[in-house]
Structure 1
Amino acid sequence: MSVNPSDDALTRDGLAPDRRQGKILLLACGALAREILALKEANGWDHMALTCLPAIYHIQPQKIPAAVEAAVQKHRADFDEILVVYADCGTGGLLQAKCAELGVEMVAGPHCYAFFEGNDRFAELAEEEFTAFYLTDFLVRQFDAFVWKPMGLDRHPELRDMYFGNYTKLVYQAQTEDPALTEKAQACAERLGLAFERRFTGYGDLKSALQTKA
């Protein structure tokens, strides 16, 4: 198992547990793997193991509850506790209901954009940013895989107005200070014909959620 998984592997395959028989398993979306690994390393959270489901479920949210259930059942005997590091992520409350049924805790929030921003702050901004399209570090790096190709814009760029005509800006929520990622995020905004805004969020409520298990 690589400690520095590629974005393509995280999108397609997820990530196997980095330690068995640990105390706490973080069962997360592959889109959060790099951030969680960085937090684990920076804080010495060696008692936490990480496994990730494929990040491509971001655009197939109907698959998330069943996949989480299967992973919990697979790994439950190896850990004292499992924390599901997903927000609702488009499941319409089904993931929260499944976690309650399984007796496992889940990170609070409607989606990763909210908990990176901070759930309370995101709720405040939502009233004035309902025409904003959000990207995180991972989604900037995987823009073609998660936005451009699934929406058919690589084959039919004329669909851009149909999909994004009601958006006014692209907000890049930066978890890291990376000029290359900022440049790529700005290029994504230009491809979509949107104004560009960068906000450094760091890890937001993701860090706070994991700190409760420290």
Structure 2
Amino acid sequence: MAEVGRVALIACGALAQPAAAIAERRGWAMDVHPLPPLLHNQPKRISGEVRALAEVLRPRYAKIVIGYADCGTYGALDEVCADLGLERLPGLHCYDVFGGASRLERFFADQPGTYVLTDFLVRSFARTVERELGLDRYPELRDDYFGAYTRAVWLAQEPGDDELVQLARAAADRMGLPLTVVPTGDRGLETALESLVPIQAG
């Protein structure tokens, strides 16, 4: 039996923690169910994983919403949402959610070789980037992976966190790229979630 008024957010693991913090701050009756963030390295799997979890959660919740943008699924996630009557976050990727689609378009138009970081990627760079690409074992491959990039842009949800600042600089250094810090906060994510969460859940 569905829990009256409760919403399940099936979220990318990279968005789960800030989404849960926003829900708690706003008093939303929303439970966050994260999927592994490393799915972003295999985006063709995202839609299937979302579908499977949505089917499991459906009997328990009044509503299910999807905490992913398209995220490299090339419309496959939208097909799942259409089949199951679900809504997802807007945009092509989570960078649009945090930084705004028009701002990201300008970044890539100004410098197509822009590598974008979020707080999650800054914190997990060693695991989700270096280890996944094998750079911890073969550091000489750095230029093969990042040689075409010209800068790293950190969309900073917590720009005043000294530890994150140091980690962002270290990540950019390991890629051999200059770092641009763009403070965003979580307002973009909060606004996107507001459009998905029904009023009675707040």
Q: Structure 2-normalised TM-score? A: 0.91
- Report the counterpart of residue 140 of structure 2 in structure 1: 158
Q: Does 1:120 align with 2:102?
A: yes
Contact persistence 1:136–1:175 (CA under 8 A): yes
Contact persistence 2:97–2:192 (CA under 8 A): no
Q: Does 1:140 align with 2:148?
A: no
Across the two proteins, how many residue pairs are aligned to each other? 194
**Shift of residue 181 of structure 1?**
0.5
**Shift of residue 68 of structure 1?**
0.3
Contact persistence 1:119–1:205 (CA under 8 A): no
The amino acid that maps onto 1:129 is Q
User: Where is the helix percentage greater, Structure 1 or Structure 2?
Assistant: 2
The amino acid that maps onto 1:164 is F
RMSD (Å) for aligned C-alpha atoms: 1.4
Contact persistence 2:54–2:64 (CA under 8 A): yes
Contact persistence 2:111–2:150 (CA under 8 A): no
Q: Does 1:206 align with 2:189?
A: yes
Identify the match of residue 155 of structure 2 among 149, 160, 173: 173
Q: Does 1:88 align with 2:64?
A: no
**Shift of residue 57 of structure 1?**
0.7
Mark the CA change 1:129 to 1:100 in structure 2 (over 3 Å): closer, same or farther: farther
The amino acid that maps onto 1:95 is L
Residues in 1 aligned to 2:149 and 2:84: alpha-carbon distance in whole angstroms: 38
**Shift of residue 150 of structure 1?**
1.2
- Report the counterpart of residue 12 of structure 1 in structure 2: none
Residues in 2 aligned to 1:199 and 1:156: alpha-carbon distance in whole angstroms: 31
Q: Does 1:191 align with 2:174?
A: yes
- Report the counterpart of residue 77 of structure 1 in structure 2: 59
Q: Secondary structure at the match of 1:89?
A: coil
Residues in 1 aligned to 2:54 and 2:111: alpha-carbon distance in whole angstroms: 36
Bigger mean CA offset, 153-162 vs 68-77: 153-162
**Shift of residue 80 of structure 1?**
1.4
Q: Does 1:130 align with 2:112?
A: yes
**Shift of residue 204 of structure 1?**
4.0
Render the CA deviation track for 1:94-124: whole Å, top value 9, x for unaligned. 1111111111011111111111001232223
Contact persistence 2:20–2:31 (CA under 8 A): no
Q: Percent identity?
A: 42
Q: Secondary structure at the match of 1:166?
A: coil
Asked which structure has the greater RCO (Cα within 8 Å, sep 6+), the reply is 2
**Shift of residue 170 of structure 1?**
0.9
Residues in 1 aligned to 2:94 and 2:140: alpha-carbon distance in whole angstroms: 29
Q: Structure 1-normalised TM-score? A: 0.86
Contact persistence 1:115–1:204 (CA under 8 A): no
Render the CA deviation track for 1:64-118: whole Å, top value 9, x for unaligned. 1110000110011111111101011111111111111111011111111111001
Q: Does 1:38 align with 2:21?
A: yes
